[in-house]
Amino acid sequence: MAVKKVWFVTGCSKGLGKALVEELLKQGYSVAGTSRDKKNLERIFGAESEKFLPLSMNIRDESSVKEAIRLATEKFGRIDVAVNNAGFTHLATVEEMSDSDVREEFDINVFGMLSVIRNILPQMRMQGHGHIFNVSSLGAYNVGPLSGIYCATKHAVKAISETLAQEVRQFGIHVTDVKPGFMRTEFFGSSYKTTAPEDSPYKSLYDENMKFYMGQDGNQAGDPHKAARLYIKVAKMDQPYESLPMGTDSCDGIRNICENTAKLMNDMRSIAETTNY
């Protein structure tokens, strides 16, 4: 019987991370799950056990990330699969989002992921195998009012994932960029933040777009448990997908954007040509 892989998953107290840990434990995998506060994990999954290690991790603090990876490796002997799942959206216009709010969102969605990658790769290279899932989004292609900074973070995640895949392939390490569409999680529930000043000149954009996003909450087409089972299936593949859309809204949305981009580039080709030597 094949040895069951050891998983390390960030942001597990809710949504996709929670569903993934539930499914992994059900299927008998060893899992180190992180949360801002491990008490949240103990409440959901129970105390530390032979197969489960709940970890408090501050994703904005590299020493905390390092320590979480150290503790997981100490307990299970190795980490085979890492899932950079923790992330959130701060819904605000580009102009009205403060510098510290922008930096917070990049810290959690991008720099936190990089911190996990930096600290987990040395042991994966030494093992000669490993698999990193980075959760980007349909928003790695799509953009829309109030989501500019969130989409910028997810564009960054996708670019980093695609580059990393090329760099670490030589060491037997796989990278999958996961692109969920709308998933029924706490994303537009308890997790999102917003800045909507009363006197905003963008009031009509807030009204329209917040109504749309809040209307998504609880009605998203994507099932986190089905997503969890897809993660596990992809992790078993000899040559796992490097780009993994989840949900037809994601797949169709990305395809439409790419088709529109191809058309635009055809239309612009003669203009682009004018700057060549």
Ligand X SMILES: NC(=O)c1ccc[n+]([C@@H]2O[C@H](COP(=O)([O-])OP(=O)(O)OC[C@H]3O[C@@H](n4cnc5c(N)ncnc54)[C@H](OP(=O)(O)O)[C@@H]3O)[C@@H](O)[C@H]2O)c1
| Partners of 91 in beta bridges | 194
Q: Is 31 in the site for ligand X (CB under 6 A)?
A: no
**48, 22 contact by CB (below 8 A):** no
**146, 214 contact by CB (below 8 A):** no
| Partners of 177 in beta bridges | 134, 243
Instruction: Read off φ and ψ for residue 86, nearest 5 degrees.
Output: -55, 135
Token digits of residue 43: 């409440």
**How far apart, in whole angstroms, are the C-alpha atoms of residue 20 and residue 163?**
25
Specify the residue, 127 or 191, whose C-beta has the smaller distance to ligand X: 191
Specify the residue, 78 or 223, whose C-beta has the smaller distance to ligand X: 223
> How many C-beta neighbours within 10 Å does residue 52 have?
20
Q: Among residue numbers 139 through 168, which ones bind ligand X (CB under 6 A)?
A: none
The yes-or-no answer on residue 141 being catalytic is no
- Contacting residue, 108, 116, 165, 254, with ligand X by CB under 6 A: 108
The yes-or-no answer on residue 154 being catalytic is yes
> How many C-beta neighbours within 10 Å does residue 50 have?
8
| Partners of 134 in beta bridges | 84, 177
For ligand X, which stretch binds (CB under 6 A), given 34-42, 205-213, 228-236, 255-263?
34-42
CB of 191 to ligand X, least distance (A): 3
- Count of residues in contact with ligand X, rule CB under 6 A: 26
Q: Is 59 in the site for ligand X (CB under 6 A)?
A: yes
Binding mask 203-242 for ligand X (x = CB under 6 A): -----------------x----------------------
The yes-or-no answer on residue 136 being catalytic is yes
CB of 79 to ligand X, least distance (A): 18
CA-based nearest residue to 186, from 220, 146, 138? 220
Q: Which residues are catalytic?
A: 136, 150, 154
Binding site for ligand X (CB under 6 A): 11-17, 35-36, 40, 59, 85-88, 108, 135, 137, 180, 182-183, 185-187, 191, 220
